[in-house]
Amino acid sequence: MSQLLQNKVAVITGSANGIGRTTALSLAESGANIGLLDFDQGRLEHVCAEIHELGRKAVSVPLDCTNGVHVASAFKRIRESLGEVDILVNGVGQSARERMTDFANANLDTFDFLIDVNLKSCVLCSHQVAAVMKARRAGKIINIASESAVNGSPRCWDYGAAKAGVIGFTRSVAQELAPFGVNVNAIAPGPVRTQAIDKMEKGLIDSIIAEIPMRRIAEPEDVANAILFFASDQSAFITGQTLLVNGGHWML
C-alpha cells in the first residue's frame, strides 16, 4: 500500500457509490482515515466496512449534504472520532438525469435542486473545514465539477451552471487560502461509468464513446487517481486549478 496520506483524515461526500466510493477506498489504501458522508445509509455502511478491512479507521454519517445543520453535526462527529480534517473531497452531486430538458421548456424547480446538491453542498462542507485548515496552515479541498461546466453540453444548462459555480467557488477560495498553505482545486470529469451511465441504452453509450478521442468512458478509478494527486503533497504548488478527466473529449 502507498503511504502518501499516512494518518491523514479525509472526508468524502457522496461516498456510498461510484466515484465517491472508489475515492474513499483509494485514499484509505494510501494511508488515510476516512469520514464518509452520503444519503444512502446502507451503501455507506458497506463502504465503511471495506475501509476497516483495509486496516484504516472510518466513520460513516448518513445525511443530506444540502442541510447546513446536518452538515455541521456530521463534521463534529468526524472530528471527535478521527481528528481534524486534512482533506475534503466534495463529491456529492448529480445531473438532472430523467428530468433533463432544454432550457425553453425547463421546470425551474429542477434548477433549484441542482444548485443545492452540486453547489450549496460544496459550500457548506468547505465552510466546515476552511477556518481550521487556515489556522493549521495546511489542508486540501478538492471539488468535483464537470466538463459540462466548460463545454456547453446540450440539455445540461442547469447542471452546467451549477458546476460552473463550483469552479468559480474553487478559484475564489483558493485565492483566499493560498497564503496559508491550503490547496483548493477542482476536477471536471467527462462521462464516467457509474450507475447513471449503466442505465443508459447501449446505442447512446456508443455514441458518447465515439466522441471521446480515447474511445472509452472513464472508470471511477480514473477520477479517483486525479483526486489522490490533489490530496497528496505531490500537488503542493498547485491551487485554483480545474483538471479535466475526460479522455480528451474537451480540451482547455
Query: Which residues are CB-contacts of 229 (< 8 A; sequence separation ≥ 6)?
Result: 235
Beta bridge partners of 61: 37
How buried is 241 (Cβ within 10 angstroms: 0-12 exposed, 13-18 middle, 19+ buried)? middle
Give me the helix-helix angle, 121-136 and 68-82, nearest 10°: 40
Rounded Cα distance, 185 and 140, in Å: 8
Q: Is 137 a catalytic residue?
A: no
User: Cα Rg for the chain, rounded, in angstroms?
Assistant: 17
What single DSSP character describes residue 119? I
Secondary structure of the chain: what % helix, strand, coil (to 5)? 50, 15, 30
- Which of 75, 157, 159, 230 is flagged as catalytic? 159
> Which ranges in the chain belong to alpha helices (H)?
18-29, 41-53, 68-82, 108-114, 121-136, 148-151, 157-177, 195-198, 202-210, 220-231
Q: Catalytic amino acids?
A: 159
